[in-house]
Structure 1
Amino acid sequence: MSTVTGSTTAAISSAVATTTAAAQASVQAAAQSIISGSTNSSMDTSSLVTALVNSKTAGQAATIAAEQTADNTLISAYGTLSAGLSALQAAILPLSDGATLNTFKTTLSGTGVTATAATGAVAGSYSLNVAQVATSQVLTSAGYNASTNLASGSATMTLTVNGQSSTISLNSSNSSIAGIASAINSANDNPGVTATVVTGSDGAHLVLQSNSTGASSGISIAISDSTSTDDLNKLAVTTTAGKSISSASDLTGTDSSGNTINPSQSTISGTGWTQTQAAQDSYFTLGGVGVSSSTNAVNTALSGVTLNLTSAAVGTTQTLTVAQDTSAESSAIDNFVTVYNTLVTTMGSLTTYNASSTSQGVLLGDSTLSVIQNQLAKIVGSGVGSGTTKTTLAAIGITLQADGTLSVDDTTLNAALQNNQSAVTSLFNPTTGIAAQLDDSITNYTSSGGIIQNRTDAINSDLTSLSNQQTTLTAWQAQLTSQYTAQFTALDTLMATMNNNSQYLTQLFGGTNSAGALATNKG
């Protein structure tokens, strides 16, 4: 039983009628060969057999071919419909999961700080003052001859950063400044230190930098060298972390000599190094609240907001503003409307009807498409909620047109995004919102076991049946061909014999225009 719909039935009937008429005409033409065969000409057995076989099978063959074409056209149409639905599902994803409606943007009135907002951000305006940024410690050794090994025998160097340690083995052949740097950088358990060699006028300097920032990122080095006179021993150093910061007053103090210092910075004990950059935490105030961090990417000060501090912001006061990103919302809603309208147009082309044309939409009258059209229109037209709490798309400037498409009033939409976020949030809430309902429905339509898949499976089953019918028909055509060929070959042979006998009798007894041999020899 074919699955073709009413819009393709006429096309099938027309194709069958045309093919059948052509087959009958071929039979009539081929039949002339029998007449020819009876008048001393050879019978065209091949053409006659072909014509007769076609006359027997043309109608069925045309029906099978037309239904196969119709089925494949239907499968293609459902593929087009499914692609349109999938495109809409992708377009509504930012609205169905609620992510876009919770999108915020940040602006800063000054320089040196960038900020990004993510899930959990809340609109607000805050005064931001950066007192200091987080830095990593940098230690620079004294200058040494680049080719001189600092150890005369076996020795070890243990580097410790924030509780993690690594011990490297050194000796009289690998303890030059470059050798030590190489050993540190290649250590499998390197605790987070990068070593470089800077050569100045006074020799080669070993420069160590912690890979992380913050007060706890200081570098300590322990040397184990039995030869006390080796220069390697001078590279021992202990770093003491600075004071934790609880207020701006913790950034200023005096040492034992009365010099002004920053107590939050690391200090070192050891004669072989100069601390060219101290390890320290960042510190800033946000909305009057002091915040310290071991890094300059701070995501704990303000919910959903990450601040990225740079030294250019130190000493400045600026305003951080977190606001709803209405441009992202507007773009997502506009894209939803555009893709929805494209789907409506696609469904319209699949169901188009023209009274003056014999060719109609492939899915005209198809119940599957009708269900989908009606359900989608109901969702976008009904809104969310009920009674006095019901909210429709019209509330934010989106209206359903007579042709099933949606129209957007940008002025009303922008006003809603700016001043009526509650309506927008209600319409696109992630559980019962319009986008969520559309997403659920499309999933039901396009998933395995959905109505489109079920319909496609039925059509494929019909194609399998038609293929089996074609195989049977082909076998019958072969049988008829063999049968007719044998029959008409025998007939042709018989007619040839009769023609030969007729010619012999004419020669013997004469014909209309001649006297036969017997008449000539009479008497």
Structure 2
Amino acid sequence: MLRNTGLSRLAVQGGVASGVQITHGANALATINGIAIESASNTYKDGLPGITLQFSQTTTAPVEISITNDKEAMTKTIQSFVDAYNALNDMLSSTTGYNSETKVAGSLQGDSTAVGLQNALRGMMRSFTPGGEFTTLADIGIDIKSGGKMTVDSTKLGKALDNPQAVQNLFNADHIDPTAQGFGEKLKTFAEGFAGASGTLTSRSESLREAAKRNTKEQEKVNERAVRAESRYLKQYNAMDAMVGQLNSLNAFVTQQIAQWNKSTG
């Protein structure tokens, strides 16, 4: 028999321990600049672009928020941009160049479109974006070395990121004049011009595809001509072989007749 003392008071009744009070969690509530917000957790991300709020305690008094730049996240984003460019540059270099060690030429060696794409990309990465504190990628520590490969000076980039708005303008500045656009917008316009539905790269790809189709048709025609020629030559060979056989028989007959004639006249 259980007594109403000690652990006996926690006897389970209907799946809930007797004497235990259950409190269900509630959404976090707050007011930002007079606007009420609500979050299912203590983290709020949707109200302020680029800012995450972490609620740590309850208060009804005004709270001042101190915002700092997430330089680590911005550095990773810029490094991703550099890595993506380097991957494209390496691919273009390998396909348009010649490997002196393996003595193998790239599949697009000498192709004017591919070479033009590579040169245009390198030229664009060395261009200027006027109108801001930073006007070139080199200003924020991104340098283009020999061979078109990008490197990042982390110290110089870190100092530039102390002014994130100027760095953002260097990449995102939108302008009707293509030369005044940020590098992100320049790349977007460049990609649309090269890889769009009527872009240079798309047109070149379609041209190569049509050339491959024509080559396949020509190969089929050549194969058909080869089959017909083989059949004709085989018939001629068989006819010639039969003629040679007849000549050999005639030669044997003539030789035999001469031999007999020599005997009869000897």
- TM interval, short-chain normalised: 0.7 to 0.9
> Please, which runs of 5 or more residues in structure 2 have no aligned partner?
1-12, 175-180
1:337 to 1:478, Cα distance in 2 relative to 1, 3 A: same
| One of 146, 149, 155 as aligned partner of 1:402 | 146
CA displacement, residues 208-249 of structure 1 (integer Å, 9 cap, x when unaligned)? 98x7848xxxxxxxxxxxxxxxxxxxxxxxxxxxxxxxxxxx
CA displacement, residues 68-98 of structure 1 (integer Å, 9 cap, x when unaligned)? xxxxxxxxxxxxxxxxxxxxxxxxxxxxxxx
Per the TM alignment, residue 329 of structure 1 is displaced from its structure 2 partner at its CA by: 0.7
Name the CA distance, whole Å, in 1 between partners of 2:37 and 2:236. 102
Per the TM alignment, residue 450 of structure 1 is displaced from its structure 2 partner at its CA by: 2.1
Compare CA radii of gyration and give the structure with the larger one.
Answer: 1
Alignment of 1:26-37 (within 5 A): none
The equivalent of 1:411 in structure 2 is 155
Name the CA distance, whole Å, in 1 between partners of 2:99 and 2:52. 60
Name the SS of the counterpart of 1:323 in structure 2: coil
Q: Do the aligned partners of 1:380 and 1:393 also contact (CA within 8 Å) in 2? A: yes
The equivalent of 1:495 in structure 2 is 244
The equivalent of 1:428 in structure 2 is 171
> Please, which runs of 5 or more residues in structure 1 have no aligned partner?
1-145, 147-195, 215-280, 511-515
CA displacement, residues 390-416 of structure 1 (integer Å, 9 cap, x when unaligned)? 611122112222322222211111111
Q: Bigger relative contact order, structure 1 or 2, given CA contacts below 8 A and separation 6+?
A: 1
Letter in 1 for 2:130: G
Name the SS of the counterpart of 1:322 in structure 2: coil
Higher strand proportion:
1
Name the CA distance, whole Å, in 1 between partners of 2:101 and 2:25. 78
Q: What fraction of aligned residue pairs are identical, expressed as a percent? A: 25
Paired residues in the alignment total 243
1:482 to 1:340, Cα distance in 2 relative to 1, 3 A: same
The equivalent of 1:348 in structure 2 is 93
Letter in 1 for 2:151: S
Name the CA distance, whole Å, in 1 between partners of 2:18 and 2:108. 83
Q: Do the aligned partners of 1:445 and 1:451 also contact (CA within 8 Å) in 2? A: yes
Per the TM alignment, residue 482 of structure 1 is displaced from its structure 2 partner at its CA by: 2.4
Per the TM alignment, residue 354 of structure 1 is displaced from its structure 2 partner at its CA by: 7.2
Name the CA distance, whole Å, in 2 between partners of 1:283 and 1:390. 39
Name the SS of the counterpart of 1:383 in structure 2: coil
| One of 235, 238, 245 as aligned partner of 1:486 | 235
User: What is the TM-score normalised by the length of structure 2?
Assistant: 0.72
Alignment of 1:69-84 (within 5 A): none
Name the SS of the counterpart of 2:248 in structure 1: helix
Name the CA distance, whole Å, in 1 between partners of 2:201 and 2:157. 34
Name the CA distance, whole Å, in 2 between partners of 1:497 and 1:405. 77
Q: Do the aligned partners of 1:282 and 1:296 also contact (CA within 8 Å) in 2? A: no
Alignment of 1:66-465 (within 5 A): 198=16, 200=18, 213=26, 297=41, 303-304=48-49, 305=51, 307=53, 309=55, 313-314=57-58, 321-353=66-98, 359-385=104-130, 391-418=135-162, 420-429=163-172, 431=174, 432-465=181-214
Alignment of 1:9-20 (within 5 A): none
How much is the aligned-residue C-alpha RMSD, in angstroms?
Answer: 4.0
Letter in 1 for 2:156: T
1:309 to 1:356, Cα distance in 2 relative to 1, 3 A: closer
Name the CA distance, whole Å, in 1 between partners of 2:243 and 2:164. 97
Name the CA distance, whole Å, in 2 between partners of 1:434 and 1:348. 22
Name the CA distance, whole Å, in 2 between partners of 1:413 and 1:474. 62
The equivalent of 1:86 in structure 2 is none
CA displacement, residues 169-191 of structure 1 (integer Å, 9 cap, x when unaligned)? xxxxxxxxxxxxxxxxxxxxxxx
Name the CA distance, whole Å, in 2 between partners of 1:357 and 1:306. 53
Name the SS of the counterpart of 1:362 in structure 2: coil
| One of 216, 225, 237 as aligned partner of 1:467 | 216
Per the TM alignment, residue 496 of structure 1 is displaced from its structure 2 partner at its CA by: 1.0
